[in-house]
Amino acid sequence: MINPESLTRVQTPNWVRTFAYILIILYFVFILLLGFIPWQQTVMGTGRITSFSPNNRPQQVEAPIKGRIKKWHVQEGQNVKEGDLIVDLQDLEKEFLPPEIIQLSQDSKTALEQNQQAYLQKANSIDDSVRNLKQNLNDSLNAARKSVDIARGELKTAQLNLKRTQTLASKGLSSEREKELALQTEIKARGDLEKAQIELERINSKTLSEITKLQSERASAIADSAKSADEIAKINTKISTAEVRRDISHVRAPIKGIVVKLFKRGPGETFKESEPIAVITPESMDQAVEMFISDIDAPLVYKGAHVRLQFSGWPALQFAGLSKSVKLGTFGGTVALVDNIDSGNGKYRVLVIPEKGEDSQAWPVTKYLRPGTRVAGWIILKTVPLGYEIWRRFNGFPIALTDVHDDFNAPIYGGSNAKDTVKETDKEEKSLSVIFKKKK
């Protein structure tokens, strides 16, 4: 027979049953509430404080030449104006190492200019000589031509006299002596003509040879002058380069700001060309956040999206799913730019600027929120039921494009319109909602 006391001991206490009923009811209530509790979809990213304008970002001053430090003119933490002297460098390039290189180049240039002037004067002198020779040639040729004409006339006279004498001698009217004298006269006249013609050719050939020689000397003088001009141009370039290098060896501040870092300790140390010398940060800057997000989330982010930011060193309470309602210690921002290419490691850069509006909280000033400060950010997307978000994450589904914003006008893959893609996504979302309701 069963002892009633023993049966009582093995029975479940009433409070346990009541507690179990309450848990079951709470479970079903929680399942029902999943379809109504709002959840804010977000894209998480991290980054640092920077400036939206490149001109207001920290500037790294680089060595324009290879040089040795002669003297620092600034210290770390010092305020500088644009154009203030930062450091003096001694040029270590072998060609420009001598300090008197400009003066030496100027002396070489002066000597070359004198040589060039001498060559030009020589060419001008040769031109005068050629003109004189041509004038003398004309005078000599005219005289020689006259001698030829005279000899030709005497020959013609001698030939006529010889012919007349021969005719008279055939008739017995002239003696043989007269005939011989006429013949000798004709032979002498012919020889004089040949001598006059030879002299004419000699004068012409000799003068032309001298003119050709002078013209060759002139061409050589002109070539030497052109060579000197080339050397002068090279020296001018060298002087200009030396002057520019001497000027840029005095490194100056490119912007107004504060010297935050010097990369060398003091005189005697050297900089390579393009090696960093100092970092200057502007006194005032248009604040922005340079944030990096994953390549999976990059297509979801668009210009103008709202962002909640938590700055390093500023206590904050932020829940990703309640970004709009729970935002203690966080600051508002707006997406200003999303890079079209990744940063090399699968991350995409997003620039966020301070949010504008009456209800928006101003960011801390630069004095407290310095460039480089680490930032965590949540880019706000669409609000969806908590149950749908749990279902999406449980199945590993990405956030749908329609969960981001509705303004998709750009074509998607395959040339189809984004609106068609949005419709397809809506169908998928509705089917997921139906499945989720059935499970509830």
Tens digit of each residue's pLDDT (9 = 90 or more) over 161-171: 767 776 766 66
The model's confidence at residue 62, banded by pLDDT at 50, 70 and 90, is very high
More confident residue, 359 or 298: 298
What's this model's pTM, rounded to 2 decimal places? 0.53
What is the helix (H) or strand (E) element at residue 374, kind and residue range?
Answer: strand 374-385
The answer for residues whose C-beta is within 8 angstroms of residue 251's C-beta and 6 or more apart is 61, 63, 64, 85, 86, 87, 88, 89, 277
Question: β-pairing, 276-282 with 306-311?
Answer: unpaired
User: CA-CA distance, 414 to 225, in Å (whole number)?
Assistant: 70
Confidence check: pLDDT of 289 > 70 = yes
More confident residue, 37 or 78: 78
The model's confidence at residue 412, banded by pLDDT at 50, 70 and 90, is very low
Say what the pLDDT of residue 149 is. Answer: 72
Residues 164, 156: contact at Cβ < 8 Å?
no
Say what the pLDDT of residue 172 is. Answer: 63
Q: What is the mean pLDDT of the chain?
A: 76
Sequence-ordered strand ranges (E) for 6-120: 38-51, 59-62, 67-72, 79-80, 85-91
User: CA-CA distance, 264 to 244, in Å (whole number)?
Assistant: 24
Give the model confidence (pLDDT) of 333-391 as tens digits. 999 999 988 888 889 999 999 988 766 788 888 778 888 889 999 888 877 777 777 77
Say what the pLDDT of residue 413 is. Answer: 34
- Average confidence (pLDDT) over 400-419: 45
Confidence check: pLDDT of 263 > 80 = yes
Confidence check: pLDDT of 131 > 80 = no
User: CA-CA distance, 326 to 41, in Å (whole number)?
Assistant: 14
Which residue segments constitute the domains of the chain, with CATH numbers given? 4-56+285-439 (2.40.30.170), 59-84+253-280 (2.40.50.100), 101-248 (1.10.287)
Confidence check: pLDDT of 408 > 50 = no
